[in-house]
Amino acid sequence: MRWTTILTIAVVIAIAAMLFLIVIPYTPLGQPAWQFKGWWQFGVQVETAVVNQSVTLKLEITGRAISVGVLNIEIKKDIPYAYDEIVHTESKPIALFFGQTMTIETTFTPDKPTDTDVREYYFKIYMNGVPIYDPTTPGQRYGLKVTGAVPVTYQGGEFEG
């Protein structure tokens, strides 16, 4: 080979390496996978929570390829025959390589029990503004019911509640 061919190949490889090192870490190449880990209240996983008490949503996020950016979580109140109301939002920066996982938690306080005015509370997930979980059908999403009743607990021989 002539030295000009070798020099051309070396320049092409150097440019490709620079693009890989500069562009790849800052470009979201893959939306992360996620898994619902439940609604939590009083330290236990629940399907029905108590109104005016903190509830935590737990999600496990797993990188696909390189997942870099901002994960946004919206918790919404499903109001029949009206627009759903956003009751909580939280943004979390993430940087995950393929197979890496992290647990994300966000906490909110439901202000109304579910009944005829509120069907359920549910969540949406966005990565860099793109929806990765955007459920539309009540009953077919990870919804949370909320009761107005205070839970009854057993404390050393006496019921409290």
90 domain residue, yes or no: yes
Check whether residue 7 and residue 40 sit in a common domain: no
158 domain residue, yes or no: no
Residue 128 has pLDDT above 60, yes or no: yes
74 domain residue, yes or no: yes
Q: Which residues of 106-126 are buried (b: 16+ CB within 10 A; e: fewer)?
A: bebebebbbeeebbbbbbbbb
Check whether residue 85 and residue 123 sit in a common domain: yes
Largest CA distance in the chain: 92
The domain in which residue 12 lies consists of: 1-27
> Which amino acid does the sequence have at 48?
T
Q: Which residue has the higher pLDDT, 97 or 30?
A: 97
Q: Which residue has the higher pLDDT, 89 or 140?
A: 89
Q: Which residue has the higher pLDDT, 88 or 155?
A: 88
Model confidence pLDDT, tens digit, residues 31-53:
899 999 999 999 999 999 999 99
Q: What contacts 147, CB < 8 A, 6 or more positions away? A: 48, 49, 50, 51, 113, 114
156 domain residue, yes or no: no
- Please give the pLDDT value at position 25: 42
Check whether residue 48 and residue 120 sit in a common domain: yes
Please tell me what DSSP assigns to residue 139: T
Check whether residue 55 and residue 3 sit in a common domain: no
Check whether residue 4 and residue 78 sit in a common domain: no
155 domain residue, yes or no: no
Check whether residue 93 and residue 127 sit in a common domain: yes
Least confident of 2-11, 21-30, 106-115: 21-30
Distance CA 45, CA 105 (A): 13
53 domain residue, yes or no: yes
- Please give the pLDDT value at position 153: 54
- Please give the pLDDT value at position 27: 38
As for how many domains the chain has, the answer is 2
100 domain residue, yes or no: yes
- Tokens representing 24? 């790849």
- Please give the pLDDT value at position 49: 95
Check whether residue 22 and residue 62 sit in a common domain: no
> Which amino acid does the sequence have at 109?
T
Distance CA 108, CA 117 (A): 19
Mean pLDDT, the chain, rounded, equals 83
- Please give the pLDDT value at position 88: 97
- Closest C-alpha to 70, from 24, 130, 25: 130
- Please give the pLDDT value at position 23: 43
Least confident of 72-76, 83-87, 144-148, 152-156: 152-156
Check whether residue 5 and residue 74 sit in a common domain: no
Distance CA 114, CA 143 (A): 11
Check whether residue 23 and residue 40 sit in a common domain: no
* Beta strand spans in the chain (E): 33-41, 44-46, 48-50, 55-62, 66-78, 85-97, 101-108, 120-127, 130-133, 145-147, 153-155, 158-160
35 domain residue, yes or no: yes
- Which of 1-15, 71-85, 130-144 is modeled with the greatest confidence? 71-85
Model confidence pLDDT, tens digit, residues 5-24:
776 776 667 666 554 544 44
